[in-house]
Amino acid sequence: MTWPTMPLGTLAAFAMGQAPPGAETNTDGIGTPFYRSGEFGDLRPTTRIWTTKPLRMGKRDDVFICVVGANSGEVNLGVNGAIGRSVAAISPGDGLDQRFLYHLLTSLTDGLRKGAQGSAQGVITKRTLAEIPVPLPPLDEQRRVVDLLEDHLSRLDAAETSVRDGLRRTATLRKAHLRGTFDEEGAEMRPLLDVASIANGQTPKGLADVLTSGPTDDAVPFFKVGDMNAADGRWMNDARFFVSRESAEHLGLHVRGAGTVLIPKRGGAIATNKKRILASAAAYDLNTMGLVPNDSLDSSYLWHWLQTVDLGRIADGSNVPQINATQIRELRLPVPDLQTQVAAARRLDEIDESLSRLAVELESVRLRGRGLRRALLSAAFSGRLIGAESDLSSAEEMINA
């Protein structure tokens, strides 16, 4: 099916937004609702700000598009209110259905974003909008296309919601397994510092002068707290910096053994709640704390147990949060015999592996769903939507399996 194509500028009028003076805006509901790209929602913008000096207006029958910044190309159905400079309101003429235009522009978001011009923020100009080619079936057919497309998309939205719920349940299931494991141990609860010692990191003066970006024969890794972000989820393997043992000894920098469990010690890194294990002997910076298990505590068991500890909750609550011996001293954990610890850690490893595989599969389904959404939008505006129905049915079966 071939439809005629016309530039959007011949089918619609444009109102490019303009921001009112800051002193004329409020959050008290006084004046006219005011919308920027930050107020864009799933379908229509959310009202959060008002202005007593509206400069450019949009209407409920318009299609709003973000034309400035990282969100450029995002689309909402219009609302009655003032619009800021990050928003353009497109008013379809008599021969163009609002929702048909909305879905068409949604299908073009990525391309419009890539084509944004000008400043580092990127701007979609009025000229760019006016030149968008619009496939134009008769108005009744536009509405039939929209009805069919929205029926498909609603089912796809439901399937994607199920996938997101599955990913959340996976994370919840892991936490439940962790809690259950340590609740079931029935072992004596002991202070963490009875079975492990604190080994704080260091950043001695002169360290920067001896760090290298590659290992040498006698070098050990030196980790910064930010390196915990690049770790695989458990092990500290790959270092950006190294220090020779001779230099470490000269500077008084302690090298800790493999199996030391690291946590962030101060600052915003605590909120990441990351815990890692040294895979080999290494040193680390003063923003990092090491917990060194003694002979009665398995490091993998300790790492798993630490997943039940919210570091943000135990930090001292100062302007720059910190975790010190005071906070660690309050922690208690079940300490069964070593054989039981090793078995428990192995069992949790197996659960983690299974849940990780499930999460990967769910993420793969989610990505396929996004691809299907793009295919449906493409089919809708090339007159091939009915031919996509079998693909949708197959994808729904796959997603819901």
Confidence label for 395 from pLDDT (cuts 50, 70 and 90): very low
Q: Which domain holds residue 67?
A: 5-136
pLDDT interval class at 399 (50, 70, 90) = very low
pLDDT averaged over every residue in the chain: 88
- Last residue in a domain, options 286, 302, 335: 335
CA angle 233, 189, 169 (to 5 degrees): 40
Residue 148 lies in a domain: no
- Residue 361 and residue 318 share a domain: no
CA 347, distance to chain mean position in Å, is: 29
Distance CA 136, CA 7 (A): 10
Q: Are residues 215 and 306 in the same domain?
A: yes
Report, as an integer, the average pLDDT of 57-81: 94
Does residue 160 or residue 191 have the better pLDDT? 191
225 pLDDT exceeds 90?
A: yes
Within a domain: residue 121? yes
Q: What is the pLDDT of residue 157?
A: 79
Q: Are residues 158 and 267 in the same domain?
A: no
Is 141 within a domain? Answer: no
Does 92 lie in the same domain as 35?
A: yes
Domain end call among 102, 136, 170 = 136
Q: What pLDDT sits at residue 262?
A: 97
**What would the two tokens of residue 61 be?**
């029958």
384 with 343, same domain: the answer is yes
Q: In this predicted model, what pLDDT tens digit does every residue of 311-353 receive, in sequence order?
A: 999 999 888 999 999 999 999 999 999 999 999 899 888 888 8
pLDDT at 1: 59
The answer to whether the beta carbons of residues 228 and 285 sit under 8 Å apart is: no
The domain total for the chain is 3
Whether residues 168 and 263 share a domain: the answer is no
Give the domain-ending residue among 288, 318, 335: 335
Tell whether 243 is covered by a domain.
Answer: yes
Residue with tokens 């100062």: 318
Are 109 and 374 in contact, with CB atoms under 8 Å apart? Answer: no
Q: Which residue has the higher pLDDT, 164 or 291?
A: 291
In terms of pLDDT, which residue wins out, 109 or 241?
241
Asked whether residue 372 falls in the same domain as residue 356, the answer is yes
Q: What is the pLDDT of residues 19-37, one digit of tens each?
A: 999 999 999 999 999 999 9
Considering the domain architecture, whether residues 216 and 159 belong to the same structural domain is answered as no
pLDDT > 70 in the chain, percent: 91
Instruction: Tell me whether residue 145 is in a domain.
Output: no
Looking at per-residue confidence, does 255 or 121 come out higher? Answer: 255
Shared-domain flag, residues 35 and 164:
no
- Whether residue 236 is found in the same domain as residue 356: no
- Domain membership of residue 331 (yes or no) is yes
Residue 146 included in any domain: no
Q: Are residues 55 and 172 in the same domain?
A: no
Residue 3 Cα distances to 142, 150, 380, angstroms:
11, 20, 12
SS (H, E, C) the chain: CCCCEEEHHHCEEEEECCCCCHHHEECCCCCEEEECHHHCCCCCCCCCEEECCCCCEECCCCEEEECECCCCCCEEECCCEEECCCEEEEEECCCCCHHHHHHHHHHCHHHHHHCCECCCCCECCHHHHHCCEEECCCHHHHHHHHHHHHHHHHHHHHHHHHHHHHHHHHHHHHHHHHHHHHHHCCCCEEEHHHHEEEEECCCCCCHHHHCECCCCCCEEEEECHHHHHCCCCCEECCCCEEEEHHHHHHHCCCCECCCCEEEECEHHHHHHCCCEEECCCEEECCCEEEEEECCCCCHHHHHHHHCCCCHHHHCCCCCCCECCHHHHCCCEEECCCHHHHHHHHHHHHHHHHHHHHHHHHHHHHHHHHHHHHHHHHHHHCCCCCHHHHHHHHHHHHHHHC
Residue 380 pLDDT class (50, 70, 90 cuts): confident
Q: Parallel, antiparallel, or unpaired for β 12-16 and 87-92?
A: antiparallel
For 174-219, how does the pLDDT look when each residue is reduced to its tens digit (9 = 90+)?
677 667 777 766 778 999 999 999 999 999 999 999 999 988 888 9
- Domain contains 94: yes
**In terms of domains, do 319 and 368 share one?**
no
pLDDT band at 372 (very low <50, low <70, confident <90, very high): confident
Q: What is the pLDDT of residues 90-144, one digit of tens each?
A: 999 999 999 999 999 998 888 888 866 655 567 899 999 999 999 999 999 999 8
Q: CATH code at 229?
A: 3.90.220.20
